């Protein structure tokens, strides 16, 4: 149940007719893992905290550096050189002290990913490399945990929601954008917030809009494009996966 402070904190959400207290209580009981707390992950972690996800796991092994500060708003100049997950925990706890933040200062690999996913309901992608994404993708398929992919480059980004047994997985698509071309500060926030909306839909029992669809955002002309995507029947990761 929501206490009085929570009813005040989440008042604007509770006013939404199709949301209400029942959905807010579901968020309170939820656990989400944010893989990487850089440009994408720091923005999604802030919004997950603000909307009242009850338990958030943060996974990153990196330290704050000056070049992060154009887009990673969890951090400031005084944080340079410090481990991101611990700074993030402190900042997020200051935003919403009623939720649990668990930091994991580790590099995700095949040996630790299953343990990191223990009791997690959804994984939100905040990574910047294909190899680690594919490790998470395979583990999420194995554990039947939805994985909300996000990628960003320059003024552009993409999102899809991967539901094991129902949608294509990342290995079917491997939608890697161009690397080394920079990123405009606001672009990750746009993609991260879309990822969080998808997570909220899943956690409250609504079908996510991007299950089986790839959203492409182009900030150059401010257009969104949607593409239907299909599973690869020969995919070595998800071809034998069935719904949970």
Give the Cβ contact number of residue 72 at 10 Å.
24
The DSSP line for 102-147 is EEE-S---TTTHHHHTTT--EEEE----HHHHHHHHHHHHHHT--E
Output the six-digit token pair for 118.
């223990």
Q: How confident is the model at residue 230 (pLDDT cuts 50, 70, 90)?
A: very high
pLDDT of residue 180: 59
pLDDT of residue 22: 96
**Which residues partner with 32 through β-bridges?**
56, 122
Q: Is the pLDDT of residue 154 over 80?
A: yes
pLDDT of residue 67: 96
pLDDT of residue 138: 96
pTM above 0.75, yes or no: yes
**Which percentage of the chain shows pLDDT scores above 90?**
90
Q: Is the pLDDT of residue 213 over 60?
A: yes
Structural domains of the chain, ranges and CATH numbers in brackets? 4-228 (3.40.50.720)
CA distance 114 to 79: 30
Q: 156-203: per-residue pLDDT in tens?
A: 999 999 999 999 999 998 755 445 578 999 999 999 999 999 999 999
pLDDT of residue 242: 54
Q: How confident is the model at residue 60 (pLDDT cuts 50, 70, 90)?
A: very high
pLDDT of residue 239: 86
């Amino acid at each position: 149940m929501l206490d009085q402070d929570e009813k005040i904190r989440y008042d604007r959400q509770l006013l939404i007719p199709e949301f209400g207290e029942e959905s807010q209580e579901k968020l309170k009981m939820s656990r989400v893992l944010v893989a990487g707390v850089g440009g994408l992950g720091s923005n999604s972690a802030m919004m997950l905290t603000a909307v009242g996800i009850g338990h958030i796991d943060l996974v990153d092994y990196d330290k704050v550096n000056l070049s992060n500060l154009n887009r990673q708003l969890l951090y400031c100049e005084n944080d340079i050189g410090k481990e991101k997950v611990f700074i993030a925990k402190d900042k997020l706890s200051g935003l919403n002290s009623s939720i649990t933040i668990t930091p994991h200062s580790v590099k995700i690999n095949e040996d630790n990913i299953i343990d990191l996913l223990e009791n997690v309901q959804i994984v939100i992608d905040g990574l910047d490399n294909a190899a680690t994404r594919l490790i998470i993708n395979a583990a999420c398929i194995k554990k039947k945990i939805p994985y909300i992919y996000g990628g960003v480059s320059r003024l552009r980004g993409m999102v899809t929601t991967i539901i094991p047994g129902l949608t294509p997985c990342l290995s079917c698509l491997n939608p890697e954008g161009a690397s080394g071309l920079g990123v405009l500060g606001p672009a990750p926030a746009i993609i991260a917030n879309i990822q969080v909306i998808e997570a909220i839909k899943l956690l409250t029992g609504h079908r996510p809009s991007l299950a089986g669809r790839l959203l492409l955002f182009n900030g150059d002309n401010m257009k969104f494009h949607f593409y239907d995507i299909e599973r690869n029947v020969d995919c070595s990761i998800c071809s034998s996966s069935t719904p949970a």
